[in-house]
């Protein structure tokens, strides 16, 4: 049985998700056109895959298991495809490094521009790109500076994976562990105790990623530490346990996503989602990790 389906920490994850929804509800509930038949087909297909007991309804555990599978598939696919994509971008010259100019050309081709259009393209104004593409380009420029650890002007193959799929990069996850230790490790012993993790105020902290990794109350944080982080029950969390905690492939991550989706779409609050509830809230699910796993990650990392 999956860890998700028997997780004793579901209550705490649901509480976190509810708080997240209260803050970000407008982000999820934007106006969309009427749902067409293709959307219904997508929702039906995904629901059937997630419905493990075949009763035409989804529990939070079933949804979490399915999302966890989608996350694992996405990450493994990103890692597998990285060498091939790197080779296709590394052309001018093919020297084992990707420059911003090489990636920029690749980006423009991804967005339908021809070689002739690219030669005449104004990189500063980006007039040939729509608003979404221009926003993606600005996001990529910010990511580039974070991923380019060896040389600001080029990326190695490992750095390119961190750039394109930060959720798939072990080096990026190790940086998250470093962040946790830097922020919570009060005695500098390179591990966290339950007190260090739980008795921290985040009210004035602007780091949204840090806020997303912890619960909001001391009691909940202590329970999260005991039930999810401290796997060997020794009262401390070492780097391996913290790496497991921040890894999107772990069931905790999918359970929190499922809890957020439930809080937004379980209209009669019966703890189950029907196809009608799924399609009525399709605009939420179509951009979630249940269906659009890759893009959902790219808005987070």
Task: Return the CATH number at 223.
Answer: 1.10.238.10
* CB distance 202 to 190 below 8 Å: no
> For 122, phi and psi rounded to 5 degrees?
-95, 105
Residue (of 67, 78, 80) closest to 249 by Cα position:
67
The model's pTM is 0.77
H or E segment at 192?
A: strand 192-193
Total number of domains constituting the chain = 1
Residue 192 lies inside a defined structural domain of this protein: yes
d(CA 106, CA 203): 42
Strands 98-99 and 192-193 come out as unpaired
Return the exposure string of 41-54: e unless at least 16 CB atoms fall within 10 Å of the residue's CB, then b. Answer: ebbeebbeebbeee
* CB distance 111 to 123 below 8 Å: no
Residue 55 lies inside a defined structural domain of this protein: no
Domain that includes residue 198, residue range: 171-246
Half-sphere exposure for 207 (CA within 13 Å, toward CB): 11
- pLDDT, residue 33, reads 47
Burial class of residue 115 (count of CB atoms within 10 Å of its CB; 0-12, 13-18, 19+): exposed
> For 126, phi and psi rounded to 5 degrees?
50, 40
d(CA 292, CA 48): 16
- pLDDT, residue 301, reads 66
d(CA 193, CA 201): 16
Those residues with Cβ within 8 angstroms of residue 53's Cβ, 6 or more apart along the chain or in another chain = 62
Residue 224 lies inside a defined structural domain of this protein: yes
- pLDDT, residue 214, reads 54
As averages over each run of 10 residues, the pLDDT of the chain (301 residues) reads: 45 44 42 64 94 96 98 96 98 96 94 85 70 90 92 96 94 92 94 89 51 64 91 96 95 92 95 95 94 87 66
Residue 6 lies inside a defined structural domain of this protein: no
- pLDDT, residue 32, reads 45
Residue 267 lies inside a defined structural domain of this protein: no
Q: Which two tokens stand for residue 102?
A: 């090489």
Residue (of 197, 166, 198) closest to 181 by Cα position:
197
Those residues with Cβ within 8 angstroms of residue 43's Cβ, 6 or more apart along the chain or in another chain = 275, 278, 279, 282, 285
CA distances from 87 to 70, 102, 103, 205, 275 (A): 26, 11, 11, 40, 43
* CB distance 243 to 173 below 8 Å: yes
Residue 140 lies inside a defined structural domain of this protein: no
CB atoms within 10 A of CB 24: 12
- pLDDT, residue 15, reads 44
Residue 198 lies inside a defined structural domain of this protein: yes
Residue 175 lies inside a defined structural domain of this protein: yes
Burial class of residue 109 (count of CB atoms within 10 Å of its CB; 0-12, 13-18, 19+): middle
């Amino acid at each position: 049985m999956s860890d998700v389906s028997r997780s004793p920490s579901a209550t705490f994850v649901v509480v976190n998700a509810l708080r997240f929804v209260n803050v970000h509800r407008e982000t999820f509930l934007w106006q969309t056109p009427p749902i067409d038949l293709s959307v219904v087909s997508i929702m039906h297909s995904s629901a059937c895959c997630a419905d493990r007991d075949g009763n035409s309804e989804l529990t939070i555990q079933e949804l979490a298991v399915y999302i966890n599978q989608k996350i694992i598939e996405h990450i493994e696919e990103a890692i597998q495809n990285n060498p091939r994509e790197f080779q296709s971008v590394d052309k001018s010259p093919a020297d084992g490094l990707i420059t911003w100019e090489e990636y920029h050309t690749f980006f423009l081709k991804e967005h339908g521009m021809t070689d002739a259009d690219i030669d005449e393209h104004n990189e500063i104004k980006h007039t040939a790109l729509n608003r979404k593409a221009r926003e993606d380009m600005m996001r990529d420029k910010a990511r580039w500076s974070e991923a380019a650890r060896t040389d600001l002007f080029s990326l190695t193959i490992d750095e390119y994976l961190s750039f394109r799929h930060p959720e798939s990069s072990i080096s990026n996850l190790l940086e998250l562990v470093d962040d946790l230790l830097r922020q919570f490790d009060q005695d500098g012993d390179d591990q966290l105790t339950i007190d260090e993790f739980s008795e921290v105020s985040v009210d004035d902290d602007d780091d949204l990623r840090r806020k997303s990794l912890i619960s909001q109350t001391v009691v909940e944080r202590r329970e999260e530490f005991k039930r999810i982080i401290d796997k060997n029950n020794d009262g401390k969390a070492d780097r391996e346990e913290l790496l497991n905690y921040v890894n999107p492939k772990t069931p905790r991550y999918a359970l929190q996503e499922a809890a957020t989706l439930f809080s937004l779409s379980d209209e009669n609050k019966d703890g189950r989602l029907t196809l009608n509830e799924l399609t009525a809230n399709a605009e939420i699910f179509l951009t979630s990790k249940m269906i659009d796993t890759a893009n959902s990650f790219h808005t987070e990392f």
